[in-house]
Amino acid sequence: MDLIIPTGKRKGHSPSLAGVYRALAEHEKARRYSDAAEQARAEYATLHQGP
């Protein structure tokens, strides 16, 4: 599988190794934040349920 940069100055070229690592780190950060936000919503709903 070839990775190609879709936009910008280096459009059509392969990303650098550092660019690949940055993209993976951003993806992981977004995934973790999403999981944490969902967990916080569930805990909030549990704490604020009526009797």
**What is the tally of structural domains in the chain?**
1
Residue 38 lies in a domain: yes
Residue 46 lies in a domain: yes
pLDDT of residue 18: 93
In sequence order, what are the residues at sequence separation of 6 or more whose Cβ sits closer than 8 angstroms to the Cβ of residue 4? Answer: 12, 13, 14
Residue 26 lies in a domain: yes
Residue 45 lies in a domain: yes
* Beta carbons of 3 and 15 less than 8 angstroms apart: yes
Note the pTM of the prediction, 2 decimals.
Answer: 0.53
Q: What is the rounded CA–CA span in Å between residue 1 and residue 48?
A: 49
Residue 31 lies in a domain: yes
Residue 8 lies in a domain: no
pLDDT of residue 1: 60
| Domain range enclosing 45 | 22-50
pLDDT (tens digit, 9 = 90+) per residue, 1-51? Answer: 678 888 889 889 999 999 899 989 988 888 888 888 888 888 998 888 866
pLDDT of residue 21: 93
Find the DSSP H helices in the chain.
Answer: 17-47
